[in-house]
Amino acid sequence: MSIFRMAGLLCGVAIGSVVATSAFAQDDANAITIVTPYAFDNIDACNSSSEVGLVVRENVVEALTHLNPESGKPEPRLATSWEQVEPTVWRIKLREGVTYFDGSAFDAEAVSRSIERMFNPKLDCLNRGKLFANIRLTPKVVDSHTIDISTEKPQPLMPIFMSFLTIESPKTDFDAMTSTPVGTGPFAIPQRNAGDAIVLVRQDKYWGEAPAVSKATYVRRDESALRAAMVEVGEADIGLNIAIQDATNPETDPGYLNGETTRLRFSFEGPLADIRVRKAMNLAIDREALRDGLFNQDYAIATQMFLPRINGYNPDMKPWPYDPEQAKSLIDEAKKDGVDVGAEIPLISRINFYANGQETMEAMIAMWQMVGLNVKLQPMERAQWLKLVNKPYAEPRPAMLIQEQHDNNSGDATFTMHFRYHSTGQQSEFGDPELDRLIDAADAASGDERVKLFQQANAYSAENVVPDVMMFHMVNYMRISDRLEFKPDDVTSTMMELSQIKFRGTN
Amino acid sequence: MTGHLLEVENLSVRFHSRGKIVDAVRSVSWHLDRGETLAILGESGSGKSVSASAVMGLIDTPPGEILSGSIRFDGRGILGLSAKDQRELNGRRIAMIFQDTLAALNPVHTLGHQISESMTAHGIPAERARTRAIELLARVGIPEPERRFNEYPHQFSGGQRQRVMIAAAIAMEPDVLIADEPTSALDVTVQAGILKLLKELQAENGMGILMITHDLGVVAEIADRVVVMSQGEVVEQGPLAEVLGAPRHAYTRRLLEAVPGRHGYPAARDLSSEALIEIRGLSKYYGVSAGVLKTPTGREIKALDDVSLTLNKGEVLGVVGESGSGKTTLVNTLLGLVDPTKGEVLYRGKSMLGPGNREIARNVQVVFQDPTASLNPRMKVGRIIAEPWAIHRGVLPRAEWPRRVAELLEQVGLRPEHADRYPHQFSGGQRQRIAIARALALKPEVIICDEAVSALDVSIQAQVIQLLKDLRRDHGLSYLFIAHDLPVVRDFADRTIVMQGGRIVESGITAEIFEHPRHPYTQKLLASRPVEERMRGHITEPAE
Amino acid sequence: MRSYFRQRTMQSAISLFGLVVLVFFLARLTGNPTDLLLPVDTPLAVREEFAARHGFDQPMLVQFGRYLLDLLQFDFGESLRDGRPALQMVLQAFPTTLLLSFWAMLISLVIAIVTGSIAAWRPGGVFDRIASLISLAGASIPNFWIAIVGVLVFSVWLRALPTSGTGTPWHWIMPVTVLFVRPCGVLTQVVRSSMIDALASPYVKTARARGVRSRVVIFGHALRNAMLPVVTVAGDQAAGMVNGAVIAETVFGFPGIGKLMIDSIMFRDFAVIQAAVMVTAVAIFVLNILIDLAYALLDPRVRHG
Amino acid sequence: MSDMTHPTAAAKPPREHALAEAFLMLWRDKFAFLSACFLLLVVIAALFGPSLLPDQALQMNLRGRNAPPFELERGWLYILGADNMGRSLLARLVIGSRYTLMIAGSAVVLALVVGTILGLIAGYRQGRIATIILRGADILMSFPSLLLALIVLFVLAPSVGNVVLVLALSRVPVYLRTCRAEVLEIRERQFVKAAKVLGASHARIVFLHILPNVVPTLMTLATLEFAAVMLSESSLSFLGLGVQAPAVTWGLMVADGRGYLASAWWLSFWPGVAISLTAISANLMANWIRTATDPAQRWRLEKRTRA
């Protein structure tokens, strides 16, 4: 065979394949395309607490309850009502007349199986790891639409947890993850192979109100500029995670708190063991200048590690003032007492953590330099950074600052407080008996008492421990096509209900 | 207006190269008539090929520049023709063949294609061109022309390739055939065949042949008239007998003087019987491999087959053989570059082979054929000559090196200050002198001259041989003198060995071999070079 | 020919095994996927459980032994991210990259051969100067930059091409462009210099002495000889395509092997990394054989040597 | 004709003369001349820039974020505009030139040295060692350079030196193969044979006879590779595996600025131009060196030197 004939043959194959891939085309006025930076590798329902929730949560698989985005209070969804029948047992009434896309009926058995499946050790369920690592839920079917969920210890937060219990079809493989989850939601995922684009199609049998969107396709593009461009030229209707500089028009490019709060954590070592130094470091930062310079007004200066809608948020706390003079005098004081304030303090940052993260770190270092502190940036790749973040820490632990970001989407402060501020917390750097006491007490309490105790713990920590340099409640931007009507909120970063999307005008 | 077929008048060509301007030819004039053979004789750098290139329109401008002159073909001026008109002429009316056939034929096309192309390029239909090409192949003496039509240049021997080139050149029955050193790269026996073929073809179609060569033998064999060129100028021209018989210009005389084999045999000397090198039953077999990855085929080639010889002290032993005769393998084995399959090499009774015998090997040095290739281009001459002392520590203290290098340079006829220059700043003959100086550095008893003068122009050849003779006289050296050509050996070697196919076919006193060759191969070898005889016919008496 | 393939395969098998060993151990130096796959706040117990489930708690040699055993049964393991067989994922992504590279190489070669040959005809001439400068510029611009500027200019401003994604032939234009610009620049330079050599060679002189037309001299005689070094360089460029494809695939959302590889690397999805590296290596092995064949096609000396 | 005439270049140009001639030859080729000037400028910037502009490149000015180019009201430093933190792009380009050149230069030198040594060994000593080296090169060639980058980044932390290591490692096979091919050819040359016959040791043959003859080819290759390495460095930055702030390289600037192409094109445009111009200059210089050292091509540069 001559080389030319060979080339000809390959050309033919190439052209053929191009034509073949272009064969599908869709023309549905109510179909939308959503462009995201996420790979959505595994969209199994039991991963719905991660960004996978953007696709499946409430769209495909519904949870028992739904958190109100403003108040953070649980509202009925697949559960119609719930009550704490015993300290460790919650009884839940389920919605009747609901069926799955695959025809199976939604009932207590399905819920029980779904919970058991989440705890199946053969599956790497993110929901289990993230929310139920220390809480074993034991379901017990009462009748066809009533179920009891019991826990070992009293669990006042059960209604909030229930908003993460996405209940997939009982026909789902119990021992393997699926790339085609089937739920009771308004949308269904047609049969697909893992790796294909994710397409959601409106389900006519949905028990609730029919959404306006008939079909949603999720595509992935890594470059923010490209996502913005795709919406601009009409190739996509919603572009998620648009860079700040691309979010030029507040009408089409709304921002929303993404649930993440950023801070720098102190290791309580070397000069950082001295509270005056920690305070000085907070006083030396001009947070407003940072926000206006590197981010914008949508970003909120944080006083604590979670959003105001979370139980336990203390609204009375004030951000640190910018007072370099006082910072300097605190440092001088410490220096007189023999603290080595001239030591080089590494700032462990994470590469590609969040937009403008690197620049923020650089700007903060410059501010510390002005009060005479010597902080040095040490960027790390994720896996390397992780080694420093979690206990058990390597000994000796050096004096350092660690760049962190945390999202509490659950609605309750305990996820955050215990982990970071309790002496036994996996990411805690210190042990303060009073703070331990407050957190333990709050954990055991419920209702207003619980909220109050967490608020006290937060205030105490900020005043008497100063474990971190609080930064911002972070914002995401999305670009929305002008044919759509949609307003993102605090929870949009992990859950985007397609049923909330409306079309403008008649078409 | 003269009636010559091809006439070059007052041609001057200049080249811009290597950092300087070279006037390649100055005011060159010559002419060629139908049916005659004109030889342009000249050594390297004489500009002998330039006017031919100008005829063919092959001088690229730049780097070339034609300063003046005219070329007329068939009464028409052809210098500076348009590319299209030049193409009409090239191949159809004037054809050309070249020296290095492997390079001059396109390696990726079949030879048949390349012959046909000289016809299709001039409008002959492909089918007819093919038929004619096969006829031509047969005519120039390629067996099985039908089959070989589809073969590639590398599948032919050098002589066959030159025949194919000739076939392609005569395809359009041109009026003029320019042959640029057509036989220089070939073995003597093959050379004779090619010249014979050219003469036959000329007789058949009456074309004029322009033969460009450095080889007086070829001139004597084929030319009717001779143009002698030196340093870009024509120094003498005239009928063959006149130029060779009564050279008017001093350069021509020197050239004739330098031709080897004209001075009788070396005087029979009292040869010592003290054997320096003894070779006993030396054989070297190579397994034959084939394919891209050289897979062994199980066949064997006997590069050396049971060779025995002795080199005595003070003796010059000539070894003559054409390509494939095994002389190269013999040298490589002697130098320890190749391990023999069997047999032994003794130096004063001790084995020379094997790694432990470096000290013995010191006494045997070598001068290679190509002085350009055998000197490291990035080392200064002084370092090249001193390298043997750097390798054999203790022979000469470092402080002595410059003095000794200067001495050696003077011994080989160069100047001490040349030590500071690089090889490329010297001419070919000077480089060979440097190589000889390096060989002398360790005061060896034997020097192996591996075709040491073959690449040099005749006049230089004679000088280098004279140097070797002087060194033998002064230092009592012995030479193993390897050559592919008999005449060089004739007036230098005391004894001569003729090799063919890895075996010694004849050996004896040089005069004996030349006067009474016994082996048919030796006879053929001598017959292929009738030059000396023929020249003697032309040359009356060497002028004083 | 058979022994050629046997030897070639042996060599490649050795390299491939070395590659497997190297990738297996070096990849594991870069950290534990447990940390990366699970959220930062995951409790220690959950991490340990996860590591145990996937065998990451075992000694490295045990893990490697298991991997080799599976490999012998042609089991490349499963992706940590979505549980699919690694080989399937790789084979699914591979054709896209192959096609992308094929077009990029084809266009590069065609442009390079035409431009390089014309430039070589009169070295130092106007065309040569301009072609050299453009090809150099092409070879000197970061390709992700070309990609993003391309989107802004052709999709956003001119609205002439789709921004990204697959589908119609239009979608292929920009990724292929991004991918071919550099090899094209490099190849043009190679074609040019090797054509200059070829045009100065004695056989071209012979052809001219025979009265052969310039076009035939360039394309019939010089080019085919000049192609030999071009084939070598083109082979190297083609082998490096996977690296270049990472950029094009990342920016344009092409589901190719480059993108798969970088994603897997970022997530320490070892099975997929290993499978992708192996498939790529095998492809390069096949490519090398194709280059040898092309050599043999172009040069009879190689065929008969 | 006699060979007793003096060497052709009897009036051997002294060293200064050779330099002057080289300069003249450079002057003849205007493109190469401009390239040389530009490269010189870059080198000067890399050598002295950081001491002349110690703070300007790092000083943030959050009010002047993304200031457009060609406006002089902020001072000449802002002639090329400011980046997303209000830092002078001109100053950053100057400061960035040091790391950029250092990284590309060291990577090329490191790869050149390692590749050459291995290539010499593989070419000169055939047999098992050569096989091992060649298979190693094969493995390195099919080893994804991104994974290599990640490994180094993770195991050794992201420092400038380690970026050099990654870039060098992935380019070693290029030199290795070229060097080996050259050695295979040169070791068959007669002067090597001559040295062997003299009894020269392997080290002597390799380092005194073969190496000096391989160097010119490798130098040309290295010049070309310089450009390629600069581009690879920027690709690594694009994927977040390259140099990390506060170190500045042009590649990092292009990569960081890409998000602003729609709103503030100058952020990635100027460093892109700097990379491209340097790469083009390096390539043109390589071409010039190749021409100037090739006797058959050299006249092009000398045409009018002595006419």
Q: Note the pLDDT tens digit of each residue in B483-496.
A: 887 778 888 888 89
Q: Which residues of C touch B107 (CB under 8 A)?
A: 203, 225, 299-301
B389 and B509 belong to one structural domain: yes
A 10 A CB-CB count for D95 gives 26
Would you say residue C85 lies in a domain? Answer: no
Q: Which residue has the higher pLDDT, A26 or C52?
A: C52
CATH of the domain at C268: 1.10.3720.10
The domains located in chain D, with CATH, are 51-302 (1.10.3720.10)
A357 contacts A403 by C-beta, under 8 angstroms? yes
C172 and C295 belong to one structural domain: yes
Would you give the DSSP letter of residue D68?
P
Sequential DSSP letters for C44-78: HHHHHHHHHHTTTTS-HHHHHHHHHHHHHTT---B
Residue B131, beta-bridge partner list? none
Task: Dump pLDDT digits (tens) for B294-315.
Answer: 555 667 778 888 888 888 888 8
pLDDT averaged over chain C?
Answer: 85
Residues C162, C164, C167: CA angle, nearest 5 degrees: 75
Would you say residue A281 lies in a domain? Answer: yes
pLDDT grade for B155, boundaries at 50, 70 and 90:
confident
Partner chains of A (3+ C-beta pairs under 8 Å): C, D
Distance between terminal CA atoms of chain B?
41
B444 and B524 belong to one structural domain: yes
Task: Dump pLDDT digits (tens) for D43-60.
Answer: 998 888 888 777 766 677
Q: Do C41 and A419 touch (CB under 8 A)?
A: yes
Q: Is the pLDDT of residue A262 over 70?
A: yes
Torsions phi, psi of B70, nearest 5?
Answer: -145, 155
**pLDDT computed for residue B187 by the predictor:** 80
Would you say residue B308 lies in a domain? Answer: no
C6 and C126 belong to one structural domain: no
A385 and A269 belong to one structural domain: yes
User: Tokens representing A320?
Assistant: 């640190």
A 10 A CB-CB count for D19 gives 11
Q: Is the pLDDT of residue A449 over 50?
A: yes
Give the separation between CA D250 and CA D272, rounded to whole angstroms: 7
Boundary (domain end) residue, out of C72, C100, C118: C72
Q: Which residues of B touch D209 (CB under 8 A)?
A: 376
Least confident stretch, A193-197, A269-273, B304-308, C66-70 = A193-197
Give the separation between CA B356 and CA B339, rounded to whole angstroms: 14
- The predicted model gives D11-33 an average pLDDT of 69
A243 Cα distance to chain centroid: 18
Give the separation between CA B514 and CA B239, rounded to whole angstroms: 30
**pLDDT computed for residue A13 by the predictor:** 47
Q: Which residues of C touch A11 (CB under 8 A)?
A: 106
CA distance B335 to chain D (A): 6
Would you give the DSSP letter of residue D259?
G
A 10 A CB-CB count for C251 gives 28
C250 and C221 belong to one structural domain: yes
A263 and A171 belong to one structural domain: no
- The predicted model gives C225-253 an average pLDDT of 85
Task: Dump pLDDT digits (tens) for A174-183.
Answer: 988 888 899 9
Q: Which residue has the higher pLDDT, B362 or A76?
A: A76
Boundary (domain end) residue, out of B188, B223, B258: B258
Would you give the DSSP letter of residue B519?
S
**pLDDT computed for residue B18 by the predictor:** 53
Give the separation between CA D273 and CA D285, rounded to whole angstroms: 18
Nearest to C210 among B91, B108, B295 (CB): B91
A286 and A386 belong to one structural domain: yes
CA distance A59 to chain C (A): 20
Boundary (domain end) residue, out of C43, C72, C101: C72
pLDDT grade for B1, boundaries at 50, 70 and 90:
very low
**pLDDT computed for residue D248 by the predictor:** 85
**pLDDT computed for residue A27 by the predictor:** 53
Return the amino acid letter for D111.
A
User: Tokens representing B102?
Assistant: 């492997």
CATH of the domain at B212: 3.40.50.300
Distance between terminal CA atoms of chain A?
57
Q: Do C164 and A221 touch (CB under 8 A)?
A: yes
Residue A256, beta-bridge partner list? A476
Q: Do C89 and A233 touch (CB under 8 A)?
A: no
User: Tokens representing D47?
Assistant: 């050598």
When divided into structural domains, chain B yields a total of: 2
C135 and C7 belong to one structural domain: no
**pLDDT computed for residue B535 by the predictor:** 57
Would you say residue B524 lies in a domain? Answer: yes
pLDDT grade for B544, boundaries at 50, 70 and 90:
very low
pLDDT grade for A141, boundaries at 50, 70 and 90:
very high
Give the separation between CA B219 and CA B255, rounded to whole angstroms: 13
C20 and C97 belong to one structural domain: no
For chains B and C, what is the number of CB pairs under 8 angstroms? Answer: 95
A306 and A420 belong to one structural domain: yes
pLDDT grade for A507, boundaries at 50, 70 and 90:
very low
User: Tokens representing A402?
Assistant: 């660690």
Would you say residue A98 lies in a domain? Answer: yes
A168 and A277 belong to one structural domain: no
Q: Is the pLDDT of residue A19 over 50?
A: no
Q: Is the pLDDT of residue B404 over 70?
A: yes
Nearest to B90 among C202, C208, C214 (CB): C208
- Its ipTM equals 0.79
Q: Do A351 and D244 touch (CB under 8 A)?
A: yes
Boundary (domain end) residue, out of C44, C72, C100: C72
**pLDDT computed for residue A267 by the predictor:** 94
A179 and A281 belong to one structural domain: no
Give the separation between CA A266 and CA A270, rounded to whole angstroms: 11
Q: Which residues of D touch C14 (CB under 8 A)?
A: 135
Partner chains of D (3+ C-beta pairs under 8 Å): A, B, C
Domain range for B206: 34-59+76-258
Give the separation between CA B53 and CA B178, rounded to whole angstroms: 10
For chains B and D, what is the number of CB pairs under 8 angstroms? Answer: 116
Q: Do D194 and B427 touch (CB under 8 A)?
A: no
Q: Is the pLDDT of residue C135 over 80?
A: yes
pLDDT averaged over chain D?
Answer: 80
B405 contacts B386 by C-beta, under 8 angstroms? yes
B41 and B161 belong to one structural domain: yes
Give the separation between CA A384 and CA C30, rounded to whole angstroms: 8
Residue D202, beta-bridge partner list? none
Q: What is the CA radius of gyration of chain D?
A: 23
- How are the residues of chain B apportioned to helix, strand and coil, as percentages rounded to the nearest 5? 40, 25, 35
Q: Is the pLDDT of residue B360 over 50?
A: yes
Would you say residue C232 lies in a domain? Answer: yes
Would you say residue C82 lies in a domain? Answer: no
Q: What percent of chain A has pLDDT over 90?
A: 52
User: Tokens representing A185?
Assistant: 């939601």
List Cβ neighbours of A324 (8 Å cut-off, separation of 6 or more): A283, A284, A367, A370, A371
A150 and A279 belong to one structural domain: no
Would you say residue C51 lies in a domain? Answer: yes
Determine the residue of chain D that is closest to A247 in CA distance.
D263
Would you say residue A23 lies in a domain? Answer: no
pLDDT averaged over chain A?
Answer: 87
- Asked, as a colleague might, if the bond just before D246 is cis with ω within 30 of 0, I would say yes
Q: Is the pLDDT of residue D135 over 90?
A: no
**pLDDT computed for residue B268 by the predictor:** 65
List Cβ neighbours of B81 (8 Å cut-off, separation of 6 or more): B57, B89
A266 and A376 belong to one structural domain: yes
Would you say residue A396 lies in a domain? Answer: yes
Task: Dump pLDDT digits (tens) for C16-34.
Answer: 888 888 888 888 887 778 7
Residues B479, B483, B486: CA angle, nearest 5 degrees: 110
Q: Do B88 and C211 touch (CB under 8 A)?
A: yes
CATH of the domain at A340: 3.10.105.10
Would you say residue A237 lies in a domain? Answer: no
- The predicted model gives B222-239 an average pLDDT of 89
3-state secondary structure of A219: strand
CB interface of D with B, residues 74-113, below 8 Å: none
Would you say residue A213 lies in a domain? Answer: no
C201 touches chain B (CB under 8 A): yes
A364 and A280 belong to one structural domain: yes
Domain range for C40: 2-72
A 10 A CB-CB count for D17 gives 11
CB interface of C with B, residues 7-66, below 8 Å: 7
A 10 A CB-CB count for D155 gives 13
pLDDT grade for A320, boundaries at 50, 70 and 90:
very high
Q: Do B43 and D208 touch (CB under 8 A)?
A: no
Would you say residue A40 lies in a domain? Answer: no
Task: Dump pLDDT digits (tens) for B336-353.
Answer: 888 888 888 888 888 877
Least confident stretch, A224-228, B517-521, C169-173, C238-242 = C238-242
Would you say residue C86 lies in a domain? Answer: no
Q: Do D85 and A294 touch (CB under 8 A)?
A: yes
Distances in whole angstroms, Cα of residue B512 to Cα of each of B491, B493, C295: 13, 12, 53
D213 contacts D188 by C-beta, under 8 angstroms? no
- Say if B and A touch: at least 3 Cβ pairs within 8 Å: no
B393 and B246 belong to one structural domain: no
Q: Which residues of A touch D158 (CB under 8 A)?
A: 351, 379-381
Boundary (domain end) residue, out of B214, B239, B258: B258
**pLDDT computed for residue B516 by the predictor:** 86
Would you say residue A457 lies in a domain? Answer: yes
CB-hemisphere CA count at 13 Å for D1? 24
Parallel, antiparallel, or unpaired for β A198-202 and A215-220? antiparallel
Of A504, A269, A265, A284, which Cα lies nearest the Cα of A404?
Answer: A265
pLDDT grade for C208, boundaries at 50, 70 and 90:
confident
Determine the residue of chain C that is closest to D252 in CA distance.
C142
pLDDT grade for D80, boundaries at 50, 70 and 90:
confident
Distances in whole angstroms, Cα of residue B282 to Cα of each of A267, B300, B351, B357, D196: 83, 16, 13, 18, 21
Task: Dump pLDDT digits (tens) for A383-408.
Answer: 888 888 988 888 889 999 999 999 88
Q: To which H or E segment does residue B483 belong?
A: strand B478-483
Q: Is the pLDDT of residue A14 over 60?
A: no
Q: What is the CA radius of gyration of chain A?
A: 25
- The predicted model gives C50-77 an average pLDDT of 87
Q: Is the pLDDT of residue A17 over 70?
A: no
Domain range for A109: 61-184
A307 and A454 belong to one structural domain: yes
C211 and C300 belong to one structural domain: yes
C145 and C113 belong to one structural domain: yes
**pLDDT computed for residue A340 by the predictor:** 92
Q: Which residue has the higher pLDDT, D86 or A285?
A: A285
Would you say residue B380 lies in a domain? Answer: yes
When divided into structural domains, chain C yields a total of: 2
**pLDDT computed for residue B289 by the predictor:** 60
Would you say residue C78 lies in a domain? Answer: no
When divided into structural domains, chain A yields a total of: 2
**pLDDT computed for residue B290 by the predictor:** 55
Q: Do D194 and B336 touch (CB under 8 A)?
A: no
Q: Which residues of C touch D227 (CB under 8 A)?
A: 139-140
Nearest to C163 among A130, A226, A426 (CB): A226
B246 and B322 belong to one structural domain: no
Of D227, A242, B281, B247, which Cα lies nearest the Cα of C141?
Answer: D227
**pLDDT computed for residue A303 by the predictor:** 94
Torsions phi, psi of A310, nearest 5?
Answer: -80, 140
B493 contacts B317 by C-beta, under 8 angstroms? yes
C18 and C120 belong to one structural domain: no
A252 torsion bin: left (phi>0), alpha (psi -120 to 50), beta (else): alpha
For chains A and C, what is the number of CB pairs under 8 angstroms? Answer: 141
Q: Is the pLDDT of residue B376 over 60?
A: yes
Would you say residue C84 lies in a domain? Answer: no
Residues A165, A168, A169: CA angle, nearest 5 degrees: 150
Q: Of the ranges A433-442, D165-174, D184-193, D206-215, which is most confident?
A: A433-442
Of A219, A225, A253, A197, which Cα lies nearest the Cα of A38?
Answer: A219
